[in-house]
Chain A
Amino acid sequence: MTSDLIVFLVLSLVAIATALGMVFSRNSVYSALFLVLNFVTVAVFYLLLGAPFIAMSQITVYAGAIMVLFLFVIMLLGAESLAPAKALPWQKPLAFTLAVVLVVEAVYLIVSRAQQGMSITAPDASINNMNSLRELAMQLFSQYLLPFEVTSILLLVAMVGAIVLTRQEKGGK
């Protein structure tokens, strides 16, 4: 077993454990913190895959901005203190069965269709220097310039939408 594989296996254990913790913890705040840990683990995977820029975006945007927003709303609503409602009795077993079916199906398809010889080596130091970042920026701002601009408009619309949705009507209701 190479060191790559050991790092991968340990990290995937952490990722799966934190994802399960997110889904099954009773307290929303714990769920959010588990999810932060999961995002950081995925960021380490990106580093292993030679994508330092995406790893840093992942940490700043997901683990930083988005999860702070989530925690803010969780604490703002204070929905933890509400009494838990009655759940449908057949829902949980059905969901588990469907999830197991889905994962078996997916893994079977992946393993049966796998192309031989496609394996990933950990990047050497050369991919983590400024050159690869420069190449990425060149592609982002030439080939993908239009999607980039559309994304900025999308972010603007989302910002305006969020403000309009939560604004208090003046003198109204």
Chain B
Amino acid sequence: MIPVEYYVILSAILFVIGALGVLIRRNPLIIFMSIELMLNAANLVFVAYGRTYQIAAEIAKQKPIFDGQIFVFFVIAVAAAEVAVGLALIVEIFKAKKNINIDELNSLKG
């Protein structure tokens, strides 16, 4: 028996580590990986709460509910699409600027 709050707390910690990575790292690839970590933390909460509703449905002898898992499936698909486009952009920026330090990508600065 694991209280569902334990999963939510773990996910909050993972999310905050991801946010910290976005704030302190200057390499866009690491920032990207931190975003993936944050997406994963959110997925963990989806599945954990989905499991509590499944258990409730099992007790009430209803059909099992998989909504939480299906949402995670969509999040994984969207994350894959996002990574493909984002990495293509990073490669293009590197080709144009020969540098990927985000502190120096300030061409749009007014």
Residues of A at under 8 Å CB distance from B? Answer: 2, 4-5, 8, 12, 15-16, 19-20, 22-23, 28, 31-32, 35, 38-39, 42, 45-46, 49-51, 53-54, 57-58, 61-62, 65-66, 69-70, 73-74, 76-77, 79, 82, 85, 87-88, 91-92, 94-96, 98-99, 102-103, 106-107, 110-111, 114, 118-123, 132, 135-136, 139-140, 144, 147-148, 151, 154-155, 157-159, 161-162, 165-166
**Once the chains bind, are A110 and B74 in contact (CB under 8 Å)?**
no
B63 contacts A by Cβ under 8 Å:
yes
Number of B residues near A (Cβ < 8 Å) is: 73
Instruction: Decide if the interface of chain A is mainly helix, strand, loop or mixed.
Output: helix
Q: Which residues of B contact A85 (CB under 8 A)?
A: 26, 101, 103-104
Q: Can you list 24 contacts pairing A with B, beta carbon distance less than 8 Å? A: A4-B1, A19-B17, A49-B50, A54-B43, A54-B73, A62-B40, A69-B84, A70-B29, A70-B33, A77-B91, A79-B29, A82-B101, A85-B101, A88-B103, A103-B12, A106-B12, A118-B5, A119-B2, A120-B3, A136-B70, A147-B74, A148-B74, A161-B84, A166-B88
Q: Which residues of A contact B85 (CB under 8 A)?
A: 158, 161-162, 165
B110: min CB distance to chain A, Å: 19
* In-complex Cβ contact of A73 among B13, B66, B78, B87 (8 A): B87
